[in-house]
Structure 1
Amino acid sequence: MRNVQRGLASRTKIITTIEESGKSQASEIAKKAGLGKACVNYHLKLLDGQKIVSSKKIGRSYTWALTTYGQKRLLA
């Protein structure tokens, strides 16, 4: 249970970073949010499963953005 708060804090930082920066790659999100790349990738996959963020493959990397559903959930 002690990791739940840290996980929520990490996801909040990631969502806020995407919201402020727009579409971003995981490495950019990690740098701006002050989190590790593995941490960001892990939480992006969780958020993707919940349809809060979506990814688009460009070349070898993925660009992440908030979905309209994710934006609505933030405002609720």
Structure 2
Amino acid sequence: MKEAFHPNAYLQHVKNVKNGLITRSRILIAIETQQSDGTAIAKKKSLSYGVVMHHLRLLEGEGIVSRKGRRP
């Protein structure tokens, strides 16, 4: 059975490996339900802050998410 990933988890400029798709899907679902920062997403989804920020930067680079406020 094929896994369902968030449609915006697929990136054009990066190789889309399964673990990355799963992580980006989890992050995007968290953002859709409530606007949040990297620390809150990491805690809510039991991911490391570094992993969350890495994927948020990839998503931001593709224009899928945008940053509000200052850069950490």
Q: Which has the higher helix share?
A: 1
In 2, Cα distance between equivalents of 1:35 and 1:57: 22
Partner residue of 1:31? 43
TM-superposed deviation, 1:33: 1.4
In 2, Cα distance between equivalents of 1:33 and 1:53: 18
Given candidates 15, 23, 45, the residue that maps to 2:28 is 15
TM-score, normalization: structure 1? 0.68
TM-superposed deviation, 1:34: 1.5
TM-superposed deviation, 1:32: 1.0
Moved over 4 A (4+): none
Partner residue of 1:73? none
Equivalent pairs, count = 57
Identity %: 44
* Superimposed CA distance per residue, residues 26-49 of structure 1 (whole angstroms, 9 cap, x where no aligned partner): 000111112110000000000001
Taking the TM superposition and a 5 Å limit, the aligned residue runs for 1:1-76 are 4-21=17-34, 23-58=35-70, 61=72
Task: Structure 2 unaligned segments of length 5 or more: list them.
Answer: 1-15
* Superimposed CA distance per residue, residues 6-63 of structure 1 (whole angstroms, 9 cap, x where no aligned partner): 0110000000000111x211000111112110000000000001111100125x75xx
In 1, Cα distance between equivalents of 2:45 and 2:67: 18
